[in-house]
Structure 1
Amino acid sequence: MPTLILVRHGRSTANTEGLLAGRTPGVALDEHGQRQASGLVRRLDELPLVAAVSSPLRRCQDTLAPLAEARPGMPLHTEERVNECDYGQWSGRKLAELSDEPLMATVQRHPSSAAFPGGESMRAMQHRAVEAVRDWNARIEAEHGARAVYLMCSHGDVIKSIVADALGMHLDLFQRISVGPCSATAITYTPLRPFLLRLGDTGELGSLAPPAPTEEESGPEEGSQGNATVGGSA
């Protein structure tokens, strides 16, 4: 099955202002975030991406704009299911103010039980995001093969919930995961298990390119069925 590169959007104006943006329309990248988006092109330069998938929100679309310009032949899709968590009445508020809300303790300690007033639950957020990843994995493999690499640009909590699912972690533990703005997280999915290859990486990603098949190979490539390398890989 394919390798998925999860990219969090670049730093936004809401990030620098200490706001919980949620789905507030029009939240853009700040100047640093724009530089991060431009730098993403170089970081991905050696990676043969077959497609990119994005949250519909502007900050994700803007993060992928330089990459789309550099790769005009790469399909770019919008996927509603990897949209930001719907924080409801919390959206647009200062994080410092929200820290005093009784619900914040649940968000931090038992996020699987957290539901935002006028919004959605964190469990529902994870369910739709993981469903989207599984659907896109199947589509990408059907169209491009099991060695294919594709990218998905989304949001911090969404990406963390996808990583937690890949690692078999309960959602209550997902706050232990950290993904910074414009960081890349790579997961290779196999029939047996997912492999987390990178987490919150801010460097170059060319080493994630799949090796070319050799003449000696017959059937599925080595490791494609999900067997781990005993003792660790080279």
Structure 2
Amino acid sequence: MATLILVRHGRTTANASGTLAGRTPGVRLDETGRRQAVVAGERLAPVRLAGLVTSPLERCRQTAKAIVAARDGELPLTTDKGIVECDYGQWQGRSLKELAKEPLWKTVQTQPSAAAFPGGESLLEMQARAVAAVRRHDAAVAAEHGDDAIWAAVSHGDIIKSILADALGMHLDLFQRLHVDPASISVVRYTGTRPFVLATNTHAGDLAWLNPPVRKRGRRRPAGADAVVGGGAGPATS
């Protein structure tokens, strides 16, 4: 299996105003969000990406285009509805302050696995289709480019939190303990044994360490499917 870099879109006009945008069309990055997307692109520029997948919503496509623009070479870019924002149904477009007064708000906060948005989807349904989508892409990338391959997906806060929770073996009811900021980068390495979460909610720092070392002809890189007792030596620094 391959390594997945999860990028949340940059800040939007809805984020700044405290509105639950959901799948509302026309929600775009604000000035801060555009700067954040550029920084994310600069961080990812040294990483040898096999591909980039994005949610079809404008804010994610804007962020994905910034990632592509920061690179010297071409980067295959595709969209996938499987990682689109949660369908919040009748909650979509309403202010978070107003929604916090709804009885369902407490369920969303304390027992997300029981939360279903009126006229929309449940958080369990959201997690199931998002995890299925990234697993499908990851298997395809590994099959075409090898287990050392790295790819990236640009998606949304709750989507990324649900994917991280799955990778960590956390029940969905605990996923609100995770935090995923606009334009933050998280990293999951999938293996045949288990996923490894290499980073969550990072905002700065060199990501070139994710690139696999160049191997001499005839030598194979260890599969890395087992956890290293004691923590191991970490990635090479040069």
Greater alpha carbon shift after TM alignment, 59-68 vs 122-131: 59-68
The Cα shift of 1:70 comes to 3.7
| CA distance in 1 between partners of 2:213 and 2:114 (Å) | 42
Please, which runs of 5 or more residues in structure 1 have no aligned partner?
Answer: none
Match of 1:136 in 2: 137
Match of 2:81 in 1: 80
Match of 1:227 in 2: 226
| CA distance in 1 between partners of 2:217 and 2:52 (Å) | 30
Q: Does 1:34 align with 2:41?
A: no
| CA distance in 2 between partners of 1:35 and 1:192 (Å) | 38
Match of 1:51 in 2: 51
Match of 2:236 in 1: none
Question: Does the 8 Å contact 1:50/1:74 carry over to 2?
Answer: yes
Match of 2:106 in 1: 105
| CA distance in 1 between partners of 2:228 and 2:59 (Å) | 38
Greater alpha carbon shift after TM alignment, 29-38 vs 201-210: 201-210
| CA distance in 2 between partners of 1:193 and 1:185 (Å) | 17
Please, which runs of 5 or more residues in structure 2 have no aligned partner?
Answer: 234-238
After TM superposition, which residue ranges in structure 1, 4 or more long, deviate above 6 angstroms?
none
Structure 2 letter corresponding to 1:14? A
The Cα shift of 1:214 comes to 3.3
Match of 1:184 in 2: 185
**Alignment equivalent of 1:206, drawn from 205, 208, 211:** 208
Structure 2 letter corresponding to 1:19? T
Question: Does the 8 Å contact 1:41/1:70 carry over to 2?
Answer: yes
Q: CA RMSD in A?
A: 1.2
Question: Does the 8 Å contact 2:110/2:173 carry over to 1?
Answer: yes
2:45 aligned counterpart, secondary structure: coil
Match of 1:153 in 2: 154
Match of 1:3 in 2: 3
Match of 2:196 in 1: 195
Deviations for 1:86-139, whole angstroms, at most 9, x for unmatched residues?
Answer: 000000100011000000010000000000001000000000000001100111
Question: Does the 8 Å contact 2:126/2:159 carry over to 1?
Answer: yes
| CA distance in 2 between partners of 1:79 and 1:88 (Å) | 20
Structure 2 letter corresponding to 1:181? P
The Cα shift of 1:225 comes to 4.8
Q: Could you state the TM-score of these two structures normalised by the residue count of structure 1?
A: 0.96
Structure 2 letter corresponding to 1:233? G
| CA distance in 2 between partners of 1:169 and 1:13 (Å) | 31
Q: Matched residue pairs, number?
A: 231
